[in-house]
Amino acid sequence: MASSSAPRRVFGEEAPGEHDRTPRHVGIIMDGNGRWAESRGLPRSEGHRRGVAAVRRTVEAAVERGVRYLTLFSFSSENWSRPPEEIQFLFSLLRLFIRRDLANLHGQGVKVSVIGSRDRLPSDIFKLIEEAEHLTGGNQQLHLIFAFNYGGRDEIVRAVRRIAADVQSGAVEPEAIDGRVLVAHLDTGDIPDPDLIIRTGGEYRLSNFLLWQAAYSELIFLPILWPDFDAIAFGSAIDEYATRSRRYGGLVARNSA
């Protein structure tokens, strides 16, 4: 079993953050669209629309700061409980974003991928996701990951089911199952764990986001609502991360007197 006192590494790679203070992978829980709109007497849909603009600003800021992986929590597996019209509007925004922004992202060298269950997704969205991933699959400037129809617990359950199927087929021996095997079956199997997770909107919880992967992530909670998030807020979070001491369950090395 993989040690619980050390961060997961992408196999064959160095652990992120060991040689510099820029997080290699940033995850963001984009919270506050509805409250932003309601506080201004606007429909919630306008908050979601402004949230897309914040996504664009954040991608640009991530590239500027040298972040290599950016995961955005855009639609939770629990969000299906929202009003149907709001869900349909969120789907329409995803369609619009892919159709309008994909060429620009591709031109900037951004690789786009989507994690989460693809069950229940409309067929046209499923196809758009596949097209986006295929078009940008070779890009290396920034890996932009959308967690869409995603939940951390659901991801782990789906990984366990895949492992069980491998055991049943004889591809994996039960005694060979360890942390590395589980990681390889997660949606993020080829993505390093997030060094930093930012949550906007003033709430102080992970809300089922990257539960396994966030074991040693630095967490920053901001009162700013997502539509107001910009390069300055992103840069401030990166600068705060740079002041953190990451020990992974160990002790900070001290200089001898």
C-alpha 4/C-alpha 179 separation (Å) is 9
Catalytic positions, written as ranges? 31, 79
Question: 198-222 burial by CB neighbour count: b if 16+ within 10 A, else e?
Answer: bbbbeeeebebbbebbbebbbbbbb
Chain centroid to Cα 186, Å, comes to 13
Q: What share of the chain is helix, strand, coil (3-state, %, to 5)?
A: 45, 15, 40
Pairing of strands 196-199, 69-76: unpaired
